[in-house]
Amino acid sequence: MSTFLSLTNELLRRLNEVQIDQADFPNVKNVQALAKDSINSSIRQMLQDAQEWPFTLVTYEHTLAAGTNTYSFPADYSKADWDTFYIKQLTSENNTPQKLELITYDQYISNYRSTEDISGEDGRTSPNCVYMTQDTKFGVTPIPNASYVVEYRYWKYPADLTTYDDTTLIPDRFKHVIIDGAMMYMMMFRSNEQSASLHSQKFEDGIKMMRRLVVDQAVNVTSTVIQRSAYTTISDRV
């Protein structure tokens, strides 16, 4: 993966400006400081433009607390893959590991909340449903009676690059898109509207190309696997 230093220096080369060495990286000023800001601005825009980049998807294990039914996502959370919530077996409880059924918050209030209130502690057991709360947390029902582990996947939103050796999650083959976006921001800083517009178009085209190669391709592969699986199943029956 490209480092913050290498990306910044590549941008400075494009601008025909003095590059930065490792020792001076934390304390640069003027155009070099703007170059660092532009790299981060470009990456932020790329990650915001499409939240479901495969390279930002991570698997996470969340330990539940007995008597608690709502939980916060990790600090770098951007969006959850709600179809992946899975409760693991807890040896002490001998529960059945299973995928959690996704319900809406309204369904929880209408169909589950009163049961929790009436049954109290006696109704606490291994959860079998998950829902998004109104404050963007996740909830489980029934309320757990033990420290079960729930595994799920989510798309994270990484923090800005800070130190010279920080790396971006964006694959190296798309670093030119980062640079095009950073050039757009640099031209905006310089009030060069014509050049900013040119690089803006290149930046947008680059993000569209990334979607085709990374996001759409991943969807097509999944679709092909499903279709192949169905075909094989039918063939096996003949």
Tokens representing 61 are 């294990």
Tokens representing 57 are 């998807």
Tokens representing 194 are 């014509």
Binning pLDDT at 50, 70 and 90, where does residue 1 land? confident
Task: DSSP for 61-115, please give it.
Answer: EEE--TT--EEPPPTTEEEEEEEEEEEPP-TTTTPPPEEPEE--HHHHHHHTHHH
Number of CB atoms found within 10 A of residue 7's CB: 27
Residue-wise pLDDT for 85-100, tens only, equals: 999 999 999 999 999 9
Over the chain, what is the mean pLDDT? 90
3-state secondary structure of 58: strand
* Whether the Cβ atoms of residue 164 and residue 44 lie closer than 8 Å to each other: no
What percent of the chain lies above the pLDDT cut of 90?
Answer: 85
* Whether the Cβ atoms of residue 78 and residue 125 lie closer than 8 Å to each other: no
Higher pLDDT, residue 222 or 61: 61
pLDDT for position 203 = 97
pLDDT for position 218 = 54
Residue-wise pLDDT for 184-197, tens only, equals: 999 999 999 999 99
pLDDT for position 52 = 86
What's the rounded Cα separation, in Å, for the pair 146 and 16?
61
What's the rounded Cα separation, in Å, for the pair 186 and 67?
52
What percent of the chain lies above the pLDDT cut of 70?
Answer: 89
pLDDT for position 60 = 98
Peptide bond connecting 127 to the previous residue in cis, omega within 30 degrees of 0: no
Residue-wise pLDDT for 120-171, tens only, equals: 999 999 999 999 999 999 999 999 999 999 999 999 999 999 999 999 999 9
Residue closest to 103 by CA, chosen among 77, 126, 85, 87: 85
Q: What's the burial of 234, exposed, middle or buried (CB within 10 Å: 0-12/13-18/19+)?
A: exposed
Tokens representing 98 are 């299973």
pTM of the predicted protein model: 0.81
pLDDT for position 217 = 64
Higher pLDDT, residue 217 or 31: 31
> Torsion angle of alpha carbons 200, 203, 208, 209, nearest 10°?
140
pLDDT for position 81 = 96
pLDDT for residue 229 is more than 50: no
Q: In what order do the strands lie in the sheet with 77-87?
A: 57-63, 149-156, 77-87, 98-99
Residue closest to 141 by CA, chosen among 48, 232, 64, 197: 64
pLDDT for residue 48 is more than 90: no
